[in-house]
Structure 1
Amino acid sequence: NTGSKERIWESDKEKYFETVVALMSDKIDGDLPLDQLKILTSKESKTENTQYYLQIWPEKKQVQITNFPHPYPQLASLYKEMIRYQRKDGVQLTAKLYLPPGYDQSKDGPLPCLVWSYPGEFKSKDAAGQVRGSPNEFSGIGATSPLLWLARGFAILSGPTIPIVGEGDVEANDRLCGTASN
């Protein structure tokens, strides 16, 4: 009613990847009274898998409601880095580099590397150069994940952007051969 604003919750984006999962209340019907607001959030980091928390307002209290163990402890110490690089035509690109747990370049030497990517179409170089994802996301490994190869001593370059740019009236795939030869 007064037009004033108050921050209820904010993600710690420096260390964690956090999202709002749901807004909750103890009240079942009618308007949500702000003195009973609860926010269900998820929180993860490079090394900590997703856990869920209740953010209770106005107390600004955080209550952890899950304590899931690491799903694959043998890969808990994998190395992950979001890298940025520039293509010849000036497009800024990103990828996630994963190295096996315990890898030491000076002792172990070079690694075989599996590159996991797919080209994408963009209408501008700026759109193609956008950073995707967060460096603080937990590395989930599914049955078909390339990260399974970390256990066999491979490096993984995941999601290197391969943008096909079509600016102005030119469609991306009209320049596919020209872009690929750059």
Structure 2
Amino acid sequence: MPAPISDEQHRRDREALLDTAEGLFYEHGIRAVGMDAVRAGSGLPLKRIYRLFPAKEELIVEVLRRRDRRWRGELAEYVERADGPQGRVSAMFDWLAEWFARPGFRGCAWINAFGEMGAASEAVLAEVRAHKEAFRAQVEGWVRDAGGGEAEAEAVFLLAEGAIVTAGITGDPAPARRARAAAERLLENAPV
């Protein structure tokens, strides 16, 4: 009889599985990646994988949830180092430009997941919406601190989202710079 799996081994297996699934889903697409590919990449037997995540949908949701925490955390850390409230709004677009230029950038993981699974999976759709609302709240906070109101916050959020989608399609980080310039003009002209 095999020895019971320790809490530490459970954590390591779960992280290895999530790392593998995230990389494969982002690079190849969720539907294109079968559980056999996840098994081969993670080195875990299918039985162990299904004990950790009884359905592929649960694995997808957890991949998105974990990526959200990391993505928004890295963004916030970068933005908070900028000088002044307006500098933080500009820094958001600088961070996006750096993200767009990273090797392997394939656009927004949540938009990609929505495109593949949104109509077929309420759980994935809910996770995508939760990410977009959390990102919107981050942007709203930075814009309000910079003197913008609700209309400016919505516009800056849409500029960021548009830059993400455009960079994902074109493979060019330039949309972040253009969106940054538009956001700066918008805040300069915001009613006081």
TM-score normalised per structure 1:
0.24
Of structures 1 and 2, the one with the larger relative CO (CA 8 A, separation 6+) is 2
TM-score normalised per structure 2:
0.23
In proportion to residue count, which structure has more strand? Answer: 1
In proportion to residue count, which structure has more helix? Answer: 2
